[in-house]
A and B are shown apart, each in its own frame.
Chain A
């Protein structure tokens, strides 16, 4: 059964960025924030709380619908799969996603969550969870 990442307890986040560093370390072989598919950020300074921006694993993903080249296709269990070679960095996918869960790396390629669960394994405060999903 496929799994997906769930933001289970957003208000427990302490803003350590361990999840982001884990994502880029595992999926991009780099130490960076920009290569991470999950994005933790403040809005109005650390005194105003934290936003957790990550793929919400839509079953009928608007980013894939918007993609004009077929680079993004629905993933079994929610979310999307990226075919790098088809992407021309037009960025319409990013606009189609209301939570703004798609951003672009230094090579202007979209950073797409693959729901591997690494971020959840490196969250010390139970903000993130992996849950099983129905097979389509």
Chain B
């Protein structure tokens, strides 16, 4: 039961199921298998928005068998970077895929008409989505599909908003209202395939060979998750706790990284959000932590106490990218900006990066009112930022079409590359902690801070005086090792629980026997397979750019030197062979 791959051709609406135990036996599941499927299904130099480009989803052998094994991976060719696209989402998707009986799903082709996929156990249908194709609100699309689809109560609904339909290169795919396949533009790939949504549910069961061994292991991991300190941070304030921490350390990108601390950070802090705006916390399926923080924003819209009430999920990265990075001073304004991105299905981190670059380019007259259609870009001006977000999606002129392609593309067209804060053509996560963060995002397979946690290595380096080589070694260790967590697929927030030993034991308790050494080898092989794809699509680690701004603004570890970055990349290439 660990190896069913559902292949769907949107062109014909047909599907087939193949047993791919060849891949699952060797690469475990999750990203390990999805990477191989991507190499199989995506010929070199495929246009990411063409019918030939595949979308691949995968879960792992421990989904949802152990606590916090709650993620699904999507792999695709990114329209934003032109190379490896890899993204993770929680919500109910992983569990829904498991109980529908599919370990991976491969989608190819372009539907002749706007469509959505309806997958319930063995029933797989491509259905007409014409009447919802232009419904822009993610929330409304969910409501409509809930009424017409089976699986009520525990199904998963993925959908794209107007950003995906229009092809914004950083459009996301919304999963179950509050989670996302973010970054790298999976939403645009959906849109290019005339694919508006996927609804999935199932009633299958998982059989376990040795129930006693399994129950003991479950109890051990469950207790580690709920009864120890390992995951407290995610449970209490959530990742938003980082605002105050990074602000004090001078690691908080502010106003397009002109600064690394923000005079108004306190009013955007995790503490402020939790005390004043937090409504409740909810969980991904199979996670007893419940780190999804939902804020309530109540906005008067008319006299006579008329209020619009919105429930908005928030996290650290969102508050940085649409808050400190834009000089916003009110938490409520950050929520308004997040809400607007959510409605359209825009990746919040990239949108924030694009707005921050545009604000500085406007200050320097690289772009002018005729470009922006008369809208001024000013730090902290929420109302105008909302107008710009609308226009990034609607694309009324060439300037907004360019903004819809990200900061790397926009700065190539309008100038300002020295302050176009991207690494590997992806707008950065909210960490200006030091060299490991920069190198980590450059070398990371998907240019994400989560590929190797470079920010955390900087923090260790600050206290333990690590050498450049030691930092590189730690990055490589994480780059390889996280491929195993991401093949199970356990949430990376639970990586303190899913230690190497616990992973070996958890796999063994369900009949999958791999030693620590074997897993380390598989992790490295998955990493190298991803680099094969990246190189095939033209990515060259010998030719990456770091905008000058990264060196100008003081970081948690002081001013970062160009030579440090160059040396660390050189070491990384020598040690990994990429």
Contact = CB atoms under 8 A, between A and B. Distances in A.
Contact of A44 (B65, B146, B281, B311): B146
Contacts of B211: 25, 29
B177 A45 contact: yes
Interface residues of A, number: 30
B232 to A, nearest CB: 13
A122 B91 CA distance: 20
Contact of A41 (B152, B157, B282): B152
A15 B283 contact: yes
B282 A46 contact: yes
Interface in B75-110: 91-92, 95, 99
A31 B153 contact: no
Contacts of A51: 153
A34 B282 contact: no
Contacts of A65: none
Nearest to B207: A30
Contacts of B64: 17, 21, 31
Interface string A18-36: 1001001110011111110
A14 B290 contact: yes
B222 interface: yes
Nearest to B286: A17
B205 A14 contact: no
Contact of B203 (A42, A106, A124): A106
Contacts, number: 96
A91 to B, nearest CB: 16
Given A31-B65, A41-B153, A47-B177, A15 B143 contact: no
Contact of B208 (A16, A31, A35, A40): A31
Interface residues of B, number: 41
B176 A124 contact: no
Interface string B186-205: 00000000000000000111
**Consensus secondary structure, chain A interface:** loop
A18 B222 CA distance: 9
B241 interface: no
A106 B215 CA distance: 22
B154 interface: yes
B142 interface: yes
B67 interface: yes
B288 interface: yes
A26 B154 CA distance: 21
A42 B153 contact: yes
Contact of A14 (B139, B153, B204, B282): B282
B281 A14 contact: yes
A32 B205 contact: yes
Contacts of A14: 281-283, 288, 290
A44 B205 contact: no
B287 A41 contact: no
A88 to B, nearest CB: 22
Given A17-B95, A25-B215, A31-B65, A122 B205 contact: no
A17 B208 contact: no
B218 interface: yes
A21 B284 CA distance: 14
Given A15-B290, A16-B290, A46-B177, 19 more contacts: A14-B282, A14-B283, A14-B288, A29-B208, A30-B205, A31-B65, A31-B207, A31-B208, A32-B99, A42-B154, A43-B152, A45-B143, A45-B157, A46-B91, A47-B139, A47-B177, A51-B153, A106-B203, A106-B205
Interface of A: 14-18, 21, 24-26, 29-35, 39-47, 51, 106, 122, 124-125
18 contacts: A14-B283, A14-B290, A15-B282, A16-B285, A16-B290, A17-B286, A18-B288, A25-B214, A29-B211, A30-B205, A30-B207, A31-B205, A44-B143, A45-B146, A47-B177, A122-B288, A124-B226, A124-B288
Q: Which 10 A-B pairs have the closest CB atoms?
A: A41-B153, A14-B290, A32-B205, A31-B206, A16-B283, A124-B288, A14-B283, A30-B205, A124-B226, A18-B288
